[in-house]
Chains A and B, each alone.
Chain A
Amino acid sequence: MRYLPHTEEEIGEMLAATGRRSLDDLFAHLPDDVRYEGDIDIPGPLSEWELTDHLQDLGQSMFTGSSRAVLIGAGSYDHHQPEIVRSLSGRAEFLTSYTPYQPEMAQGTLQGIFEFQTLTARLLGTEVANASMYDGASALAEALLMTLRIGKKKRTVAISSAVHPHYREVVRTYLAPGPFEIVELSLGEDGRTNLSGLDEIDDLAGVALQSPNFFGVIEDHAAGAELVHGLGALYVACFSEPLSFGLFKSPGSVGADIVCGEGQSFGMKQSFGGAGLGMFGCKQQFVRSMPGRVVGQTVDMEGKRGFVLTLSTREQHIRREKATSNICSNQGLCAMTAAIQMATLGRTGLRQLAKLNYDKAAYLRKGLLAAGARPLFSGPVFNEFAVIFADDFEPARERLLGKGIVAGLPLAPFYPDVGNAFLFCATETVSKTIIDEVLEEVRR
């Protein structure tokens, strides 16, 4: 086996040095009643060629192995991955290094993550950002736990029902064992969250809204943050499509205390939903309650600029049961990838790309409305939106599937009372030709 370099002769010499007679003898002190019986019942070994054939078969059995377009976002977005993002993030020095515990031999990771934190903070409009969380869903759960930590004796958090349904499920999982209550907030006709009634909760620690929300609608964070601050609680702004901040005001700039969400759009393949990237920023005053690793700038013994992991005393390896989170390994390489993507776009490119997404979705939306669909909500949107079809949409959707196009996500499984509603997404990867094809089938 090519990963195991030992020759029989070397094994003999090494055993002799350890005073053992055989490889089995190395385990002589293990009790019999816990030993593995027989051989492990798994296939293999496969050669490189056999493995490649096998994975290719699996890939070809996927719809996405031959599809032309998937007009679904809902937390996982199809964006072009620039070749430099793929090749630079795949550099072995980034890929095969550990968490940067020895800063002198990890300055590449450390400066890269410091830059990620900076670009993330600028993107989200927060004063600080951490080195990443697992994904958007757990980032939101950690954000709400953070509001409960800061709120000390407060026990309730409120969350918009337009936050991604899976994110809300993860929040429920994380908060289940604690003495906490989760209140879900309803939506207005414009698809924005209805915040009335919050003042009746007397131990409110935090309120979370997502924008663009699950229906693609842009929430009014400025009004939300003002209202929530008036109640003495913290305002959490969540997101699943950070590209929107290239066009719209950032949540931090309009008052959000914590901004968190999913960064897969920045250079990561969809890969059936992972590995993505949890992004997390907050106001400076809350930095010691923030979960996750952070990199800070400092100097070396000769006064040269350098970077280290810092504020570690918040973390599990030092504070153990009193840590701000149990997180250890996060999504380091994904953070690096996102930073490379942000650098590749720059301010100019991010703006153009965001606008392109906005225009594509607007074109698709207008066309669908012209073809007889009506909007589920009237509020403004970015690159996805929900519509309801008067007639049965399934036949048209089936015909499009036959042409390699997935036209929208049925919303009924997530929201049983929305009826025949579908969530559509159009990014820069969807050509006008594809959109016109979709519209033609809908009109038929």
Chain B
Amino acid sequence: MKEIDELNLPGDIYYSKEHEWAAKEGDIIRIGISDYAQDQLGDIVFVELPETGSSFERDEEFGTLESVKAVSEIYLPVSGEIVAVNSELEDAPELLNEDPYANWIVEVRPTDIDQYDELLSKDDYVAMLKG
């Protein structure tokens, strides 16, 4: 597993305590998992995605990631409606290991955009990881 200073953590996006990342693209927010999350999970073998059009509250589970011997829930960092899912992941879950930032998981239309600003910056996230 990677040491914290080996992690790829872009500075222009936000992070959640549950290790998702969020990036604003116009009026929608893209969600994925951080390099830390994919590294901890190891080889991801299956991604369970939500249905487009479904809505979730902030911190609600919206899908799962499976490695060979573990299942991890993924939580939505902001409340909102799922407007798109990255269906490429259904056949190629390994994309999340290869590049967790180029390969987003869902796109959300947020119900409260202020929640986005309440997420962790890169520095806050690194500080949290260092505990």
CB atoms of A and B under 8 A apart anywhere in the complex? yes
Footprint of B on A, CB under 8 Å? Answer: 288, 312-313, 318-319, 322
Specify which chain B residues have a CB less than 8 angstroms from the CB of A318 in the assembled complex: 69-71
Q: How far is the CA of A95 from the CA of B2 in the complex (A)?
A: 43
B81 to chain A, nearest CB (A): 19
Specify which chain A residues have a CB less than 8 angstroms from the CB of B69 in the assembled complex: 312-313, 318
A417 to chain B, nearest CB (A): 47
Specify which chain A residues have a CB less than 8 angstroms from the CB of B66 in the assembled complex: 313
A-B contact pairs, 9 of them (CB 8 A): A288-B46, A312-B68, A313-B45, A313-B66, A313-B67, A313-B68, A318-B70, A318-B71, A319-B71
Q: Name the prevailing secondary structure of the B interface residues.
A: strand
A296 to chain B, nearest CB (A): 11
Using a Cβ–Cβ cut-off of 8 Å, how many residues does chain B contribute to the interface with A? Answer: 8
Q: How far is the CA of A312 from the CA of B67 in the complex (A)?
A: 10
B54 to chain A, nearest CB (A): 12
Residue of B nearest to A317 (CB): B69
Interface string of B47-88 (1 = CB under 8 A from A): 000000000000000000011111100000000000000000
Residue of B nearest to A323 (CB): B71
Residue of A nearest to B73 (CB): A322
Q: How far is the CA of A239 from the CA of B69 in the complex (A)?
A: 34
Q: How far is the CA of A288 from the CA of B70 in the complex (A)?
A: 15
Specify which chain A residues have a CB less than 8 angstroms from the CB of B67 in the assembled complex: 313
Specify which chain A residues have a CB less than 8 angstroms from the CB of B46 in the assembled complex: 288, 313
Specify which chain A residues have a CB less than 8 angstroms from the CB of B45 in the assembled complex: 313
Residue of B nearest to A310 (CB): B68
Q: How far is the CA of A184 from the CA of B113 in the complex (A)?
A: 52
Q: How far is the CA of A318 from the CA of B45 in the complex (A)?
A: 15
Q: How far is the CA of A288 from the CA of B71 in the complex (A)?
A: 13
Specify which chain B residues have a CB less than 8 angstroms from the CB of A319 in the assembled complex: 71
Interface string of B19-61 (1 = CB under 8 A from A): 0000000000000000000000000011000000000000000
Specify which chain A residues have a CB less than 8 angstroms from the CB of B71 in the assembled complex: 313, 318-319, 322
Q: How far is the CA of A338 from the CA of B67 in the complex (A)?
A: 32
Q: How far is the CA of A277 from the CA of B45 in the complex (A)?
A: 31
Residue of B nearest to A322 (CB): B71
Among A288, A313, A322, the most chain B Cβ lie within 10 Å of the Cβ of A313
Residue of A nearest to B48 (CB): A288
Q: How far is the CA of A443 from the CA of B70 in the complex (A)?
A: 67
